[in-house]
Structure 1
């Protein structure tokens, strides 16, 4: 077991680079990348860092030189031989050779494209521009680097014993959560915490703790490198960037209305089984389900990632019934702002009515709340999103207006096209 406190105390990042592999990323990124490589390889996109928690002034906390050094290190990475073997030869979701030889030939020689970085009003403006299959792979490393550098800045003045006690308390806090989760019958839970983790070492420790503490109730991790190293299932399907970019490319209102379904039509051709999971909230879940083609109702399940999760699951159950499907055979994955109490509540409410699963993110891999003065390690909401595609702005409406993004005029157009009315504002936990 790694002594995390000692490694942090050494402050030698070349021993522990924040991102140490191209597969130190979420599994859905690789699945989406292959789909994009096949269907939209020449689309030109811009991704940008967005700090929703503006009270956390990253440019005042994180040294620019150190940030550039870490980002430059990420650009130097290439796929290692053992990593390529894992991707080419492993079985994912029951399928051998999930990644095609054509995609792997490209991925094995790929390097991440350049970045643009500057400071503005206490924040970093960090953008990435180029072809979609390359630029999209910056999202997770960029977030991981910024989150860990912020943590290192907070911990930088702590002594060795302070760090040892801090990590001991953090471990005890997580273990208390695990002890509570152990008591929940029929639980299925995965680690979704890569993008806003405290550090790679901490995420790796958390995954080991979940494996040892929960046994078969812990079903895997979204982090590909940890899945490979710990012989765990890699978990993930798709994300909002697909409908956001497909929609931005639409030239007419009718094409825009159809774009979220075009995404899933392309996905349908490549994947089956538990990879056929609908993510419906990009432009409002209610409208998406009401207008969805019948073949989507036959998909395996749905992921709820914004809005009221109880209402979201109830809406999905109602939709399946209307479409003649048996909800008890469908999978509902909850993945928004989860912690133990909410996991317990949702499991109690929906077990037996649907197949329930959880993707537990930031409050698994980065919960040091109350453990340092001024709560300086409190997790915050940092994202990296596509903001344009082929020169056209992207828009996200979400089921929670606090997660919406895009220019005002385009946002108004999208609300009209997708018939989005009054929405309930939800506090963003992380």
Structure 2
């Protein structure tokens, strides 16, 4: 087992680059990338870094030169032969050759496009522009770099034994969570923590701890590189990015209203089984379900990623019942801001009523709360989102208005088109 504290103490980034592979990313990004490559390859998009936790002034303590070195290193990466073989030949979600030969040939020749970086008022403005299939693959590595550089900045002046104690405490903290979850009957839980992890090495340690501590209840990881290296299932479906861009491309209000369903119609043509998971909250869950076509009720399940998760799950159960579906045969994936207390609470409320699983993210792979002076390693909310498509702004409403993004006039228009009324604000922790 890697001695993480010693590696951190002796750290030289050229030996330990933060992102070491193009598949050090979430599986859903590759699934979505193939869909975009097939359906909208010539769409021009802009992605931008958004720090929701404005009190964390990243540019004040992350060195710009080091950030550029890490980003430039990512631009030098390409698929290795072993990575290509794994993607081409492995079975994902019970399907061989998940990725088409045309997509793989394109991916094998890919280098990520340029970035634009500047400082402004204590924050980094980091943007990526170009064709959608290329630019979208910047999201996860860009976030991983910023999160780990923040961790390195905090740890920089710590001595060797101080680091040993810090990581021992963090390991003990995580193991305590695992012990609490171990007794839950029928638990299914996966690692979703790549984008805001403490570090690659720490995420890898967390994944191995989950595997040993939970056994078959730990069903895999969203991180493709770790899945490959540890012979685990790669987990993931789709995300808000698809409906946000499709909606931005809509020519009028009616096309906008249909855009979220057009996304899933394209997805329906490519995937089946447990990949047919609805993410309904981009423009409000209730409105999405109220106007959803009947064929969507036959999909495998729903992922709940904003708002109160119990409320979202109850809404999904009622929807399935009104559409003549048995909720006990459906799957709900909880994935927003989870920690062990919330997982236990949701398990108690829904066990036996519906199938469910948990995608455990930041508070699995980056929970150093209370372990450093001034809580300097506490996780924070950093995202990298598509902000424009073919020159038109994107919008996200969410079930939590604190997660809404886009120009105010467009947010107002989208709320009108999608019939979004009053919403309850919830704290955005991560």
Do both proteins adopt the same fold according to a TM-score greater than 0.5, normalized to the shorter chain?
A: yes
- Counterpart of 2:421 in structure 1 is 421
- Counterpart of 2:298 in structure 1 is 298
**How does 1:24-423 map onto structure 2 within 5 Å?**
24-423=24-423
Deviations 1:242-268 (A, max 9, x none): 000000000100000000000000000
How far apart are residue 14 of structure 1 and its match?
Answer: 1.0
Partner Cα separation in structure 2 for residue 69 and residue 16 of structure 1: 12
How far apart are residue 426 of structure 1 and its match?
Answer: 0.6
Partner Cα separation in structure 2 for residue 315 and residue 163 of structure 1: 46
**2:303 match: secondary structure:** strand
TM-score (norm 2): 1.00
Partner Cα separation in structure 1 for residue 10 and residue 244 of structure 2: 42
Bigger shift: 5-14 or 88-97? 5-14
Number of equivalenced pairs? 430
Partner Cα separation in structure 1 for residue 84 and residue 356 of structure 2: 32
Partner Cα separation in structure 2 for residue 422 and residue 354 of structure 1: 28
**2:167 match: secondary structure:** helix
Partner Cα separation in structure 2 for residue 24 and residue 282 of structure 1: 26
How far apart are residue 24 of structure 1 and its match?
Answer: 0.1
How far apart are residue 183 of structure 1 and its match?
Answer: 1.4
Deviations 1:337-359 (A, max 9, x none): 00000000001100111001000
Partner Cα separation in structure 2 for residue 398 and residue 361 of structure 1: 18
Partner Cα separation in structure 2 for residue 52 and residue 429 of structure 1: 10
Deviations 1:262-292 (A, max 9, x none): 0000000000000000000000000000000
How far apart are residue 41 of structure 1 and its match?
Answer: 0.1
Partner Cα separation in structure 2 for residue 27 and residue 348 of structure 1: 29
How far apart are residue 429 of structure 1 and its match?
Answer: 1.6
Partner Cα separation in structure 2 for residue 356 and residue 323 of structure 1: 19
**2:129 match: secondary structure:** strand
**2:128 match: secondary structure:** strand
Partner Cα separation in structure 1 for residue 61 and residue 50 of structure 2: 16
Answer yes or no: is 1:23 the counterpart of 2:23: yes
**1:267 match: secondary structure:** helix
Partner Cα separation in structure 2 for residue 50 and residue 247 of structure 1: 20
Partner Cα separation in structure 2 for residue 11 and residue 313 of structure 1: 44
Partner Cα separation in structure 1 for residue 161 and residue 345 of structure 2: 38
**1:352 match: secondary structure:** coil
Deviations 1:121-143 (A, max 9, x none): 00000000000000000000000
Deviations 1:104-134 (A, max 9, x none): 0000000000000000000000000000000
**1:163 match: secondary structure:** helix
Partner Cα separation in structure 1 for residue 183 and residue 322 of structure 2: 34
Unaligned runs of 5+ in 2: none
Which stretches of structure 1, 4 residues or more, deviate above 2 A after TM superposition? none
How far apart are residue 61 of structure 1 and its match?
Answer: 1.3
